[in-house]
Amino acid sequence: MFENRIAVVIVVYQPSEADMLQIEMLDAAYRGVLVDNTPERQSRAAAMSLANLHYIYNGNHNGIAGAQNRALEWLLRQDGIERVVFLDQDSRVDTSYPRLISDEFRRISNFFHLALLGPTAYHEQDGTEYKSVIHTTPEAQQGFIAKRDVISSGSCCSIDVLQELGLLDERLFIDYVDFELCWRAESHGWVCGITTRASIRHQVGRRELKLGSYRVIISAPYRYFYQYRNYLWLCRRKYVPLQWKVANGIKNTLRLIYFPFVVKGGAKCFKFMLKGIAEGLGFEREIK
C-alpha cells in the first residue's frame, strides 16, 4: 500500500548496486527525495527511473547537512506530508520500516513533546546494541527511551518540528549534524529519543579497535577534521550539553595521544585532527 503522508530522504555518494536495489524498493512504496552527492553526473543514481522519489543532483557535495536540507526544502513545498524518515544509502530496511517508525513517532507523540525519534541501533557485524559507555540508559516508558542525541540513520521527525526549529546546520557538513538538531530541539522544549519497537542494523565508522572491553570507532581520516573542528565550534553554543563537551574533550585529547602510535593510519588521522583544531580555533595558517 502506497503511503502518502510519509516521505523518505536518502542521500547517496557513489552508491553500489546493492544500494540501488534498496532505493528501488523504497521508491515503489513511498514518496520522498533522493539526493545524489556523487561528483560525476553519470552516477548510478542519475540513471535510475524513479516512480515516486524526487531526484536532486548535488554533485558539489556540500555534506550530509546540505544534501538533507535540499531534500527538506523540496518536501516543505509539497502538500500532505506529515513526517520525514531519514535513511543512509547503506541502510538496509524492509518496505514496512518507514511506516513503522512513522507510526511509532505518532504514537509516542501522544505522551511526549517529540522532535526526533530513532530506532534501536544494532551493530552491523555482531548484532550487539550500540550503547554509550558514558551515559546510563534510562528505562523505557511507553516503549520510548529519551536521549539527548539520536543518530539520523532510520530516524523520523515531523514537518511541524522542522518548521519550528529550522533546518540542519550546513556549516557542520557531516559530523554532529544530527546531534546539533537534537540539542537545539531540547533547548526549545522538545524531547528526542529512540523506540524499542523499531530497530536497524548500522555500522558506525569504517572499523573498530578493541582496547580492553571498549570499542574505539575508527573513521576515515578526513572525518577527524570535521569532528575536531565541529567540536570546538559547538563548545561555544550554550544549548550544547556540558556533559557532551567535557566527555568529548577528554576523548579528543586522548585520541591525539594514542592514535599516531596505536591505530593503523593514525598519523594521517592525527594530521586531520590538527587541521580541525586549527580551523575550530580560527587559525588561518594551514597545517601541512
* Consecutive 10-residue averages of pLDDT for the chain (288 residues): 83 90 94 91 79 89 90 95 93 92 96 95 64 64 92 94 95 96 97 94 64 75 97 97 96 95 93 97 61
189 domain residue, yes or no: yes
Residue 141 confidence (pLDDT) = 85
Residue 134 confidence (pLDDT) = 55
Residue 288 confidence (pLDDT) = 43
- Domain total for the chain? 2
- Mean per-residue pLDDT of the chain: 88
Residue 133 confidence (pLDDT) = 53
Residue 193 confidence (pLDDT) = 96
Domain that holds residue 197: 3-202
- Residue type for position 84: V
Same domain, 173 and 221: no
Residue 25 confidence (pLDDT) = 94
User: Does residue 84 contact residue 75 with C-beta atoms inside 8 Å?
Assistant: yes
24 domain residue, yes or no: yes
**Which of 268, 276, 251 minimizes the C-alpha distance to 175?**
276
User: Does residue 68 contact residue 11 with C-beta atoms inside 8 Å?
Assistant: yes
Residue 46 confidence (pLDDT) = 76
Same domain, 35 and 142: yes
Residue 286 confidence (pLDDT) = 47
Same domain, 64 and 173: yes
Residue 240 confidence (pLDDT) = 98
Q: Where does a domain end: 184, 202, 220?
A: 202
DSSP 207: E
**157 is written with which cell numbers?**
521527525
Taking each continuous run of H as one helix and of E as one strand, the counts in the chain are: 8, 10
Same domain, 260 and 182: no
Q: To which residue does cell 575536531 refer? A: 228
Same domain, 218 and 244: yes
Residue 248 confidence (pLDDT) = 95
**CATH at residue 123:** 3.90.550.60
Q: Where does a domain end: 177, 202, 227?
A: 202
Enter the pTM of the model: 0.90
Same domain, 16 and 88: yes
The β-bridge partners of 119 are 195
Same domain, 47 and 119: yes
Same domain, 62 and 107: yes
Name the pairing type of β-strands 3-12 and 83-88: parallel
13 domain residue, yes or no: yes
Same domain, 94 and 220: no
Give residue-wise pLDDT tens across range 172-203. Answer: 999 999 999 999 999 999 999 999 999 987 66
Give the ranges where 166-265 is alpha helix by DSSP (H).
177-187, 223-234, 242-262
Q: Where does a domain end: 159, 183, 202?
A: 202
